[in-house]
Amino acid sequence: MTRPELHEINRLSWNAATIAHNSHKPDQAGFLKNGGSTLFPEEIELLGEVQGKEAVHLLCNSGQDTLSLAKLGAKVTGVDISDEAIAFAKQLAADCGIAAEFERSDVYPWLEAAIAKGRQYDLVFCSYGALCWLSDLPRWMSLVAGILKPGGRFVCVEFHQVAMIFDEHGVPTYDYWMPEPLHWAVGISDYVGDSCGGLVASGEVVNREPFVNPYPCYEFQRGMGEILGSVLKSGLRLRDYREYLHSNGWKPFKEMQALPGRRWTMPEGKAKIPLMYGMVAVKE
Ligand SMILES: C[S@@+](CC[C@H](N)C(=O)[O-])C[C@H]1O[C@@H](n2cnc3c(N)ncnc32)[C@H](O)[C@@H]1O
């Protein structure tokens, strides 16, 4: 069942967090204009050739990845529920002179309206902390299938559900899947400021002011079985599924080993666990 009332609470929490997150990223327009990209090699490989493709980037936040996709030649629309994120994305696009559309909406009514209008895409992309905000994953996947052209692809790179069972000290704390939404009274944190530069494309965190989010949030935790099962039930054909023993940008635990390219893996002496997965599913 879709929970729009919880999505609305999340919108407020994301608005506050997005302002804090962007305050840590210096000269984003200059970075993108001068050859920079916020996409990691993992998604670039799974995305394949995007030149000339009609693409939609769902849960796009402030549009940095959307604009990086546009720089690769995609005709891309970014969709996000956060007013602050979409306002920032539009300004960033104007400042960089990169063509992309941005639409502010809860992703469920946006997808329903797109299907009703007959909008069809070659590519649907989402990544890094997107699926956990979706209250009804099977419904979302079937809507994604509904906006893809025949031959169109759904590409997703996400943090792995196994990593979500641990607290920041690596202690198993949370159930692998949860039938009820997970309520966080503290809201969305300033994880960009806390990322030791991992979530800032230039690698440099600026303006480290303390941040308290006044709005709570709700996450939806599910296991890999439900995620892959939703893809399979949507009618899309799963073409690729990969797991990675490192995390791009996000430092999930206090003790991590830094790898080149703003990546983190488990420290020496600790068991390696999957920290990310990537998948490609195709509409036949
Ligand atoms: C972790 S961010 C995704 C970041 C993304 N990987 C990027 O390119 O920067 C999650 C995003 O999901 C958005 N979001 C959460 N619930 C949503 C919903 N129901 N509909 C649309 N966007 C939503 C939030 O506003 C936030 O910008």
- Substitution candidate for ligand 1 out of 39, 65, 80 with most atoms within 8 A of CB: 80
> What mean pLDDT is predicted for residues 89-106?
98
Q: Are 168 and 198 in contact (CB under 8 A)?
A: no
| pLDDT given at position 38 | 95
Q: Is the CB of 39 under 6 A from ligand 1?
A: no
Distance between the two ends of the chain, CA-based, in angstroms?
Answer: 27
Residue 204 predicted with pLDDT over 80: no
Q: Which atom of ligand 1 is nearest to the CA of 134?
A: 19
Dihedral angle computed from the Cα positions of residues 264, 265, 266 and 271, in that order, rounded to the nearest 10 degrees:
160
Residue 224 predicted with pLDDT over 80: yes
| pLDDT given at position 203 | 75
Q: Is the CB of 219 under 6 A from ligand 1?
A: no
Residue 202 predicted with pLDDT over 80: no
Q: Which atom of ligand 1 is nearest to the CA of 18?
A: 27
CA R_g for the chain: 18
Residue 27 predicted with pLDDT over 80: yes
Q: Are 144 and 226 in contact (CB under 8 A)?
A: no
Q: Is the CB of 65 under 6 A from ligand 1?
A: yes
**pLDDT tens, position by position, 172-189:** 999 999 999 999 999 999
Q: Is the CB of 124 under 6 A from ligand 1?
A: no
Helix, strand and coil in the chain, % to nearest 5 = 35, 25, 45
| pLDDT given at position 192 | 86
Give 192's contacts (C-beta < 8 A, 6+ positions apart).
20, 21, 24, 25, 199, 200, 205
Question: Of 19-28, 201-210, 265-274, where does mean pLDDT reach its minimum?
Answer: 201-210
CATH of the domain at 220: 3.40.50.150
Surface-to-core class of residue 41, CB atoms within 10 Å of its CB (0-12 exposed, 13-18 middle, 19+ buried): exposed
Helix 83-96, helix 4-23: angle, nearest 10? 40
Q: Is the CB of 121 under 6 A from ligand 1?
A: no
> Can you tell me whether residue 250 is helix, strand or coil?
coil
| pLDDT given at position 150 | 98
Query: Which is higher by pLDDT, 196 or 257?
Result: 257
**Mean pLDDT (the chain, rounded):** 96
Q: Is the CB of 154 under 6 A from ligand 1?
A: no
| pLDDT given at position 266 | 96
| pLDDT given at position 197 | 78
Q: How confident is the model at residue 227 (pLDDT cuts 50, 70, 90)?
A: very high
Å from CA of 65 to ligand 1 middle: 12
Q: Which atom of ligand 1 is nearest to the CA of 107?
A: 20
Structure tokens belonging to residue 53 = 């493709």
| pLDDT given at position 138 | 98
> What mean pLDDT is predicted for residues 184-197?
88
> What mean pLDDT is predicted for residues 117-146?
98
- Substitution candidate for ligand 1 out of 8, 11, 28, 81 with most atoms within 8 A of CB: 81
> What mean pLDDT is predicted for residues 141-165?
98
Output DSSP code: residue 249. Answer: S
| pLDDT given at position 163 | 97
- Substitution candidate for ligand 1 out of 61, 65, 134 with most atoms within 8 A of CB: 61
Q: How confident is the model at residue 210 (pLDDT cuts 50, 70, 90)?
A: confident
Residue nearest to atom 13 of ligand 1 (CA): 59
> What mean pLDDT is predicted for residues 38-44?
97
Q: Are 192 and 204 in contact (CB under 8 A)?
A: no
Q: Which residues form the domain of 46?
A: 4-282
| pLDDT given at position 196 | 76
> Can you tell me whether residue 4 is helix, strand or coil?
helix
**Residues 194, 250: Cα–Cα separation, whole Å:** 9
Domains: count for the chain:
1
pTM for this entry: 0.96
| pLDDT given at position 46 | 98
**Residues 246, 266: Cα–Cα separation, whole Å:** 8
Q: Is the CB of 85 under 6 A from ligand 1?
A: yes
| pLDDT given at position 208 | 80
> Can you tell me whether residue 23 is helix, strand or coil?
helix
